[in-house]
Amino acid sequence: MKDAPQTQPQRIGKFEIIEELGRGGMSTVYLARDSLLDRLVAVKLIRLPDDAGPVLHVQFIDRFIREARAIAGLDHPNVVKFHEIGEQDGMHYIAMEYINGGTLGRLISDREPRDLRERLDLMLQILDGVAAIHEAGLAHRDLKPRNIMLTSKGQIKIMDFGAVLHEEGDRADDQVLGTPRYMSPEQLQKQPGDFRSDIFSLGSICYELMTFAKAFPGDSFTEVSQMIRKEAPVPPSQIDMLLPSSLDAIIGKAMAKPPAERYQSCREMASGLKRLVAPFMETDNGEAGFRELSFAPGEIIFSQGDPGDAAYLLKKGKVRILKHTENREREISVFTPIALFGEMAILLPQGCRTASAVALEPSMVTEITRENFEALVKQSPRSIQAVLKVLATRLADLTARWVALCDVREES
Residues noted as catalytic: 142
Residue 397 CB neighbour total at 10 angstroms: 12
Contacts of range 379-385, beta carbons closer than 8 Å, 24 or more positions apart: 379/244, 379/245, 379/246, 379/279, 379/280, 380/237, 380/241, 380/243, 380/244, 380/245, 380/246, 380/280, 381/245, 382/235, 382/237, 382/238, 382/241, 382/245, 383/237, 383/241, 383/242
> Which DSSP string corresponds to 218-265?
-SSHHHHHHHHHH-PPPPHHHH-TTS-HHHHHHHHHHT-SSGGGS-SS
Q: How far apart are CA 71 and CA 69, in angstroms?
A: 6
Element (H, E) at 388: helix 382-411
SS3 readout for 212-224? CCCCCCCCCHHHH
Instruction: Find the DSSP H helices in 100-234.
Output: 104-109, 116-135, 185-188, 195-211, 221-230
CA angle 71, 46, 83 (to 5 degrees): 35
Are 397 and 404 a contacting pair, CB within 8 Å?
no
Are 292 and 364 a contacting pair, CB within 8 Å?
yes
Residue 166 CB neighbour total at 10 angstroms: 14
Return the SS3 of 326: coil
